[in-house]
């Protein structure tokens, strides 16, 4: 189900604009956080596997391991806020119709 349709359905069921404007950024931030953590873990595992195979010392700087999830959270926040504010102001029927 697309984003406006979910918001329209929630509005039709009685959700207020503030509730919709809060739910979707939270979802986007959490998805960004979990995606960033999974990407950082996969990247670190790949580095350690490759360096072990080559018999090299492995080194993943902590700054890069933290920067990946942090950037993902920032992108999720911006995307979630923009979309939520745009959709929260729509009427329930308009949001359902646009899906």
Q: Report helix, strand and coil shares of the chain as percent, to nearest 5.
A: 85, 0, 15
* Tokens 């069921």, located at residue: 13
Whole domain around residue 23: which residue ranges? 3-98
Domain count, the chain: 1
Q: What pLDDT score was predicted for residue 25?
A: 84
Using 50, 70 and 90 to split pLDDT, how confident is the model at 43? very high
Q: How many whole angstroms separate alpha carbon 24 and alpha carbon 99? A: 16
Q: Does residue 37 register a pLDDT over 90? A: yes
Using 50, 70 and 90 to split pLDDT, how confident is the model at 74? very high
Give pTM, 2 decimals: 0.76
Using 50, 70 and 90 to split pLDDT, how confident is the model at 46? very high
């Amino acid at each position: 189900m697309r984003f406006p349709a979910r918001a329209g359905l929630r509005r039709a069921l009685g959700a207020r604009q503030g509730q919709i404007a809060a739910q979707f950024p939270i979802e986007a931030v959490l998805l960004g956080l979990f995606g960033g953590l999974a990407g950082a873990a996969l990247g670190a595992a790949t580095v350690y596997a490759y360096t072990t195979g080559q018999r090299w010392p492995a080194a993943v700087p902590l700054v890069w391991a933290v920067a990946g999830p942090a950037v993902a959270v920032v992108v999720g926040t911006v995307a979630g806020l923009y979309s939520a504010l745009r959709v929260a102001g729509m009427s329930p029927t308009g949001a359902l119709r646009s899906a």
